[in-house]
Amino acid sequence: MITKYMTGSDLPLNINNTLVRYDDKGKGEIPVIFIHGFPFDKQMWQPQFQFFSKTNRTIAYDIRGFGKSEAGMQMPSIGLYADDLINFMDALEIEKAIVCGLSMGGYVVMNAAVLCPDRFEAIILCDTQCIADSPAVKEYRNKLITKIIAGKKSEFVEEFIQQVFCKESLDHKQHVVEKVRKGVMATSPVSITGSLGAMAERHDMCSQLNKILVPTLIICGEYDIITPPAQSEVILKNIKNSKMHTLKRAGHLSNLEQPEEFNQLMQQFIMELSG
Ligand code: MLT
């Protein structure tokens, strides 16, 4: 079979007048697309990318402003990121995909799946939530923005690292923690503050989730303190065709903290779609 699309790493694509970089590997009828959380990049899907590209066409891209994608000129918003996802699929002539998003990546997937339900074969929502920010969370994000503008990005990164991993990971998975810390440190302050603003302004999606009818897998780390399992249960209640798994010994970055179990759950879910 001749592959019509390019495969490789850091491939360039112009999306909404912005240069976006993506990785594309493996073969399969329905591609699996991974969307990272804030303020990470596509590298956070490495354990999943390696695993799924053996059996599926597997794609991961950097959201505008993160990793190797340009920030573009438009004001960041979750709506814009969701529009980028649909345009990304259009540019690669992907009619339907299985799309997996973690945290902010999950906000993007929920928005896009509500707007364009026909483009999704199934979705995987990891460590995310459908509620909008409360006034207290908005205020917290504004404080973070002020801190970063004041040049204290490393302080922000340290606090963030302590929140995204569970204690066991912080103590025993230093190579993973270090990799994430390096990735976040490399992200530009403008992109970090832009995304904090975008998340603060995002709308509640819980009341719209009934528009999502495709099979949905919800995964959440048991010790996730940013988007706790209780928030995944709200998603579970609002998406009819959904099921949820709580990952033991994981925090907010469940795919990196328990990669084997995460991959197995996702693989089982994908196998059931075709069975
Ligand atoms: C993320 O991991 O994408 C963010 O922490 C989500 C959030 O802050 O709402």
Number of CB atoms found within 10 A of residue 273's CB? 13
Whole-structure pTM over 0.85, yes or no?
yes
**Residue 145 CB neighbours (<10 A):** 18
Is the confidence at residue 3, as pLDDT, over 80? Answer: no
In 227-240, which positions are buried (b, 16+ CB within 10 angstroms) versus exposed (e)?
Answer: bbbebbeebbebbe
pLDDT higher than 60, residue 110: yes
Q: Please tell me the predicted confidence (pLDDT) of residue 2.
A: 52
51 contacts: CB under 8 Å, gap ≥ 6: 259, 263, 267
Asked if residue 144 has pLDDT above 70, the reply is yes
Can you tell me which atom of ligand 1 is nearest the CA of 129? Answer: 9
pLDDT digits (tens, 9 = 90+) for 44-55: 999 999 999 999
For the chain, the average pLDDT equals: 97
Mean pLDDT calculated for residue range 24-31: 96
| 109 ligand 1 Cβ < 6 A | no
Q: Which helix (H) or strand (E) holds 135?
A: helix 135-149
Give dist(CA 191, CA 69) in Å, integer: 11
Most informative mutation of 184, 199, 224, 235 for ligand 1 (most atoms within 8 A of CB):
199
Is the pLDDT reported for residue 4 higher than 90? no
- Nearest CA among 62, 52, 64 for reference residue 27: 52
| Ligand 1 pocket member 226 (CB < 6 A) | yes
The rounded distance, in Å, linking the Cα atoms of 143 and 212 is 34
